[in-house]
Amino acid sequence: MKNLKIDTINDYIEAQPVEKRATLQKMRAIIQKAAPKATEVISYSMPAFKQEGILVYFAAFKNHYGFFPTSNPIEVFKKELAPYKTSKGSIQLPIDKPLPIKLIQAIVKFRVAQNKDKASLKLKKQ
């Protein structure tokens, strides 16, 4: 993957091992459904969705899929995230387990609302 030019989420998924592509496509679809107005981008060499700022990133790793919703949702959804390994702004989703669809959607919707609130505050300050 080092020498490939990754400009789109399609490029990113195609550059991954075949056995990871379906799950990455599924994660993409889950995020799209939760944030239908979001734009797909590549940021920090990872797929991301943007709506009034970055919402979430996701990526494939050797032994897990990474889901990066920033730090606040990790605290807000702490109870629901208990079965997963987390750090300040990331969630590790095991490769051998189904994706937690409802949890991913809830986190994405939370981030959409968070970015919307942040954008309205900025407008009010102007």
Q: How many domains does the chain have?
A: 1
Helix/strand/coil for 80: coil
Q: For residue 69, what is the domain's CATH number?
A: 3.90.1150.200
Domain membership flag for residue 28: yes
Domain membership flag for residue 34: yes
Residue 35 vs residues 60, 93, 104: alpha-carbon distances, Å: 21, 20, 11
Domain membership flag for residue 94: yes
pLDDT at 120: 81
Domain membership flag for residue 72: yes
First-residue to last-residue Cα distance in the chain = 44
Domain membership flag for residue 41: yes
Residue by residue, pLDDT tens for the chain (126 residues) are 456 789 999 999 999 999 999 999 999 999 999 999 999 999 999 999 999 999 999 999 999 999 999 999 999 999 999 999 999 999 999 999 999 999 999 999 999 999 998 888 777 666
Domain membership flag for residue 3: no
Domain membership flag for residue 2: no
Range of the domain at 19: 9-125
pLDDT at 126: 63
Q: Which of 98, 115, 111, 87 is nearest to 27 (CA)?
A: 98
Helix/strand/coil for 56: strand
